[in-house]
Structure 1
């Protein structure tokens, strides 16, 4: 994480009563360094992010007033699609956030597309320093930036399983289709529901209904999120089915820990006809090891900023143990484990039973040896396959085998 804080040695831009904070997303570190010097002279705090995931973490962790957004982060990429996807995710998190697109390879056409998607303006590389500062100042004056967001609304997606679910949710979000989002506690059902609402055409606030406490449906509201929908009383289920039969009915995003088969036995058949149009099921976290690694990085940075403490190192051995851990409350459990690690300066990693009659907790050294040995034995000491399962390279696995005498 790159944060620049310096006293102003030139004219100052501000948002409200505090110095403005700009997040610049660009994979080119030379461009970042040039921008850092430019804004420092004007008393502007600048945060740096080099890819989409880093940008979302910075946005969740800091009171950002404006974003400068490059559109390509992968070497050789010129289409701008990475930046457009990040723009959408940032505006889900902060709908009123002013974003200025910085484009070079992608050209004017993709910048115009970005403005249609919600960007405030664009600037071409190489930029004129004074014009860029003037544009930033004018944009800050015209747009009132919101407060910093919490970590929870950020949907960190890395695994193929969750990527498919989020892509389907994004595709249908602009429609009025109802949803059922199912999955065990803590997998992110509410976060996905809020994302769907943010990407819809509904500009109003979304109503939250707790089914177990619901004794009357709201009179108003175009969009409702109903938590634990199966807990609605039979009377409330019939009332909701009646409401959904009417013209101009609210859009309902129902959340449940039950799968479709069980849910069909718990809900009124007429209500299930409405709600069961689209059903998205989020798998438990232990089945999404790529998301465990991505979330760990996100939460480490978030809590380091929140508590003002350096986060402990999440090396390959630690990530392997985290991926093999048990997470009863899924993302909530991982979030708590990472926050504890930041506060204490040490990892307390739960280790699952990876060998017969061997159950954690254990030290990271013991956990690493157990994980490596188990993977090797499982694949008949085929190093390539074992390394693939552990999510590390073959040289990295050889080093660990030597370290543990395997």
Structure 2
């Protein structure tokens, strides 16, 4: 495996070592970062993620026990870095180096090393790290507990992004329809970040009125307005050191956008009724169901704010484009609600599976969850059948209202199939994959609609 895309961090208080390894690796890898002081490890890992870290076993520091390398190795793991760590050791510290393997190091190299051996060790660590990450993503359905679930290609891409960007402090914009799980994405990023033990504060800014916006976000002093009966910190202060999640950011006014931009630029807030600025240290995650094309309209949203909140963008796919994730989620919700309502474990018969796979889910995962909860409650046996799965008329009514020309499910399905086939220039395999059905099922629908 080539190292061309690898980002390597070298931590050693010997400048000659840093120079030698940097010169060796520069032509081989994407990026080499060197650091003399291990006290800066946390900040380095907060700014970016690394594939491999070369860590010296001994530093001229107050720890002074010969175990400095073990100490900083443990710290790297506490900071939730996924990097493979290679220890750099002198011959006399080989016993300690072997102990480091038990503490989670990938391997160690002994000074002075042969360049070919060092490159081979780094390559093996990089290869192992990538294979392990891929295995985790393919074999595990979850990023956090049992909440964020998916085996589809689109969700695996999101899981990969979360693992890469969570350890950094990059601002993130999550885009997606209502009910797709944007808040779960935000929580996943926080829980995989270096701020995971600090507060995670969520604010639905789209629901805040002009008068409440500043008070809720920035706080106020007693007497600042009629109902301000006591001093109160805002959500920015409450999230200090942790993550602030601003949901429905696309629905705030231009006035509110200007206020928010000022805070993000200055990294400080001033409570209403005072002139005292308060420094803030937050990781910002925003979410909206407004398409990026609409956000790019400056009459609706400030471009300078978009750039500020959108260092990295994550687009959450609608459930109808996630294929077999539908059944995966349905079984997950079934397990939750059979436990909650003290029911026996339930299976899905073929009819129920077909019905679940063929539905268009205007309400996305949230709608599926409520449908499965209702089915579990109403079913007497231990098998869910097609007639047990009933979708909410609320979402269907909304769909009809928004698309009056498509007044039934057949019309929606036919037009969707036509659009996807046209998108893939008639390639049936690719169209079936995007629709989340088999080629045979797609051919049946082509015959059904005389396409």
TM-score (norm 2): 0.45
Specify the structure having the higher radius of gyration (Cα): 2
TM-score (norm 1): 0.50
